[in-house]
Structure 1
Amino acid sequence: MRKSGVTEKYVRVVQDMYESSRTVVRCAVGETEEFTVKVGLHQGSALSPFLFAVVMDRLTDEVRKESPWTMMFADDIVICSENREQVEESLERWRFALERRGMKVSRNKTEYLCVNDRDPSGTVRLQGEEVKKVQDFKYLGSTVQSNGECGKEVK
């Protein structure tokens, strides 16, 4: 927050809110014992979207220097590049930057799409694991297709 220009007074207020936070988990069979929350944002807090935006803003500044063709909205990120190697490098940079801040890349939501695929047998890997290849994906409500068509979007 300090690096984003938030005054010390507000940084301390937020720190006070998050220091020694305790919670319980409610489920169908009752509640857990109270425990300390050491990571994450308070769910349902009006402040949480602001704090998330501050963290992602700093992270984006750091990662985008190396990956200028990146689109981002909230926690949805699209990495564009000329080749698979650059996509893998960008993906690793994002993974590293997120993990340094206690977050992680969702492997089951991570996928890639190739346009004008010259090497259909090629793959994209994240930490040695193959990333799922798709022919289309939705981003901000619009369908992006590998063949460049917009038929799915027009239906």
Structure 2
Amino acid sequence: MPIRLKGKVYNTAVRPAMMYGTECWAVKKQHEQRMHTNEMKMLRWAAGVTRLDKVRNEYIRGKNLKLLPSWIRCRMRWYGHVMRWYGHVMRRDENNAVKKALAIPDKKKGGGLPYATWWTTVANDLERAQLVKQTF
């Protein structure tokens, strides 16, 4: 299979499958790094390159497959991605199971930093977009 065709298959099938559901969870740096690592593994496999060949990631993305740099990281941090799911949940009626589950208060924990939750991600994104948060 030609390398350009592999790049097109990756864009249309693999990327959406990897990104499916990311708007529903609070993205941490650990998640971001794992997605980036998996993306590069797929691209190296498609290009027929191993890590032992010591080929840079930028070269694999640009020269071989003609892809944008670090697309998955940008897409996971894009606040519109989470806002789309937030709007979808807010438009549901009050008896919906997802809406009821999101209304359950967070569990408390001991000292230290609080857990990163989906609601904190939504609150940060709303603040960045200068919008008002709707409550249940």
Q: Does TM-score exceed 0.5, indicating one fold?
A: no
TM-score, scaled relative to structure 2: 0.31
TM-score, scaled relative to structure 1: 0.28
Q: Greater strand share, 1 or 2?
A: 1
Q: Greater helix share, 1 or 2?
A: 2
